[in-house]
């Protein structure tokens, strides 16, 4: 079984939507995993969120473009990626007010505050964090 096939099998069995390169380090060497992940991104099975961070992808039935397969969309992917990377974050602004019940207005975009030490750029579609 090839490295790519092993990674695909693990992606299919997993209930998570965000993966880091370290999730596959027991399957093969660093370079082999990188090549397999690049192939999966090129084939449209994965989307690259940031350095070493990937998410499952699916094709949008209306536009035909690739989008995150996560039920919560790009916002859920960014939050799951921050949790997988063990980054302290908090929701601010309209997002915080909506989640705490202070407002009934659904926020148009996700507002996240991370620590100043977190410098990675995470982007899914048009949503971007630290970009």
Which tens digits make up the pLDDT trace of 103-124?
888 777 778 888 888 888 888 8
Position 6 scores a pLDDT of: 93
Q: Which domain, by its residues, includes 123?
A: 3-129
Q: Compare 92 and 36 and report the one with higher pLDDT.
A: 36
Distance separating alpha carbons of residues 53 and 78, to the nearest angstrom: 10
Distance separating alpha carbons of residues 112 and 93, to the nearest angstrom: 9
Q: Compare 128 and 50 and report the one with higher pLDDT.
A: 50
- Is 131 a residue whose pLDDT tops 60? no
Q: Which helix (H) or strand (E) holds 56?
A: strand 53-59
Which of 40-49, 50-59, 107-116 is predicted with the least confidence, judged by mean pLDDT?
A: 107-116
Question: What six digits make up the tokens of 11?
Answer: 């992606």
Distance separating alpha carbons of residues 33 and 68, to the nearest angstrom: 21
Position 8 scores a pLDDT of: 93
Q: How many Cβ atoms sit within 10 Å of the Cβ of residue 118? A: 14
Position 1 scores a pLDDT of: 85
Instruction: State the average pLDDT for the chain.
Output: 88
Percentage of the chain beyond pLDDT 70 is 99
- Total of domains in the chain: 1
**pTM of the full predicted structure?**
0.86
Residue 108 near residue 98 (C-beta atoms within 8 A): no
Residue 90 near residue 79 (C-beta atoms within 8 A): no
Position 41 scores a pLDDT of: 94
């Amino acid at each position: 079984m090839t490295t790519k096939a092993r990674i695909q099998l693990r992606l299919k069995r997993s209930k998570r939507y965000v993966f880091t390169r370290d999730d596959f380090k027991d399957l093969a060497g660093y370079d082999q995993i990188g090549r397999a992940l690049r192939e999966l991104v090129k084939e449209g099975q994965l989307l690259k969120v940031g350095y070493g961070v990937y998410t499952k992808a699916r094709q949008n039935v209306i536009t035909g473009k690739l989008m995150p397969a996560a039920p919560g969309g790009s916002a859920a992917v960014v939050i799951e990626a921050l949790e997988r990377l063990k980054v302290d974050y908090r929701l601010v602004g309209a997002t915080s007010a909506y989640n705490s019940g202070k407002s009934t207005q659904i926020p148009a975009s996700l507002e996240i505050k991370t620590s100043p030490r977190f410098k990675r750029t995470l982007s899914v579609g048009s949503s971007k964090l630290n970009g």
